[in-house]
Amino acid sequence: MTKRPDRPDPWKGVAHYRVRLEGADSPAFRVLSFSAKALYGDLRAKMRSNNNGNINATLSEMRHRGWTSSATLSKALQELEAMGFIAKTRQGGIAANARYCSLYRFTDTEVWEWPKLGIGPIEATNEYKAFGTVREAEVAMKNHRDRVTFLQKARRAEKMGARDEKK
């Protein structure tokens, strides 16, 4: 047998992202909406060799990748979190009463320390693997959606009550 001639590596120096097949073939990934799957790929494209944990998903940054609706972006982020593909490393925005954005990490990759951002090192947790079957993942997704719907209705009722008190 002869040796293959040395060929240049076609991936060397070319930006690309990798998705583990165990994640893409997992029951949790199968129940994600198309928007959540698209967002997963778009966020993965933002990850470099050492910035896991320092990935934001602001609408202003995601517009160049085709995201135009803050509601769709928010729902997709919530789905990815609920299914264990991403996790927050820093809470931002209104919930944190702050003027900085939330930061995320992929759970299948370790996080290096980011002292300036207050983020410590985190080992890969692979939370999406908690779902052994598609049925378990579907139940978890339904529970997540039911909780979101309940919270939205409670906020609407609270706003309506505040309006009635003003009258």
- pLDDT tens for each residue of 87-114: 999 998 877 777 889 999 999 999 999 8
- pLDDT tens for each residue of 38-65: 999 999 999 988 889 999 999 999 999 9
pTM of the predicted protein model = 0.84
Domain region containing 51:
21-166
2 within domain boundaries: no
**Residue 103: both structure tokens together:** 């930061």
122 within domain boundaries: yes
4 within domain boundaries: no
26 within domain boundaries: yes
Chain-centroid distance, C-alpha 147: 18
pLDDT of residue 4: 64
133 within domain boundaries: yes
Q: Residue 78: is its pLDDT beyond 60?
A: yes
- pLDDT tens for each residue of 130-159: 999 999 999 999 999 999 899 888 888 888
pLDDT of residue 1: 54
pLDDT of residue 157: 86
pLDDT of residue 118: 86
1 within domain boundaries: no
**Identity (one letter) of the amino acid at 38?**
A
Q: By CB neighbour count within 10 A (0-12 exposed, 13-18 middle, 19+ buried), where does 153 fall? A: exposed
Q: Residue 2: is its pLDDT beyond 70?
A: no
Name, in order, each residue with C-beta under 8 angstroms of 66's C-beta and a sequence gap of 6 or more: none
Q: What is the tally of structural domains in the chain? A: 1
Reduced to 3 states (helix: H, G, I; strand: E, B; else coil), residue 103 is strand
